């Protein structure tokens, strides 16, 4: 069974940093592209970052470019999102999701909540 389990969310002050993790199981993680998608409270979905299967190609939404860094460790079946210079409008549930193209976001994690507040 495919599973994606996010962790690392919490309460952070504006300007602070945090790293989210997504642990994958039930499939060959190194074969799949991955994304982070977030959802602010009561709002719609927003794609924020993508990484290819080998970890070389990375894309970011303009809203997080220069502040967030996506990475992966295929040996540990894990995806990461390093978030720096956090702002109040980064408050959201962060989901990791598997796939692209015809398999775009076929599987999602349960999400982890980040709250940026003083």
- Which residues bind to other proteins, rule: CB under 8 A? 35, 37, 44-47, 50, 59-62, 95, 97, 100-106, 108-111
Q: For other proteins, which is the closer residue by CB, 50 or 80?
A: 50
CB of 104 to other proteins, least distance (A): 4
Closest C-alpha among 28, 38, 31 to residue 2: 28
Query: Please, what is the minimum distance in Å from the beta carbon of residue 16 to other proteins?
Result: 25
Rounded least distance, CB 88 to other proteins, Å = 22
Q: State which residue, 31 or 44, has the beta carbon closest to other proteins.
A: 44
**Residue 31 CB neighbours (<10 A):** 9
Phi, psi at 89, each rounded to 5°: -80, 5
| Nearest alpha-carbon partner for 115 in 85, 81, 89, 82 | 89
Q: Which is nearer to other proteins, 19 or 65 (CB)?
A: 65
**Nearer of residues 16 and 69 to other proteins, judged by Cβ:** 69
Nearby residues of 115 by Cβ (< 8 Å), 6 or more positions away: 9, 10, 11, 12, 91
């Amino acid at each position: 069974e495919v599973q994606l389990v996010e962790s690392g969310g919490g309460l952070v002050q504006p300007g602070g940093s945090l790293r989210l993790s997504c642990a994958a199981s039930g499939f060959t993680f190194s074969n799949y592209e991955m994304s982070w998608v977030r959802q602010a409270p009561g709002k719609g979905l927003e794609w924020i970052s993508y990484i290819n299967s080998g970890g070389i190609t990375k894309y970011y939404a303009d809203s997080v470019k220069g502040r967030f860094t996506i990475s992966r460790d295929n040996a540990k079946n894990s995806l990461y999102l390093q978030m720096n210079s956090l702002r109040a409008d980064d408050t959201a549930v962060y989901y990791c999701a598997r796939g692209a193209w015809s398999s775009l976001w076929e599987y999602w994690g349960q999400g982890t909540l980040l709250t940026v507040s003083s």
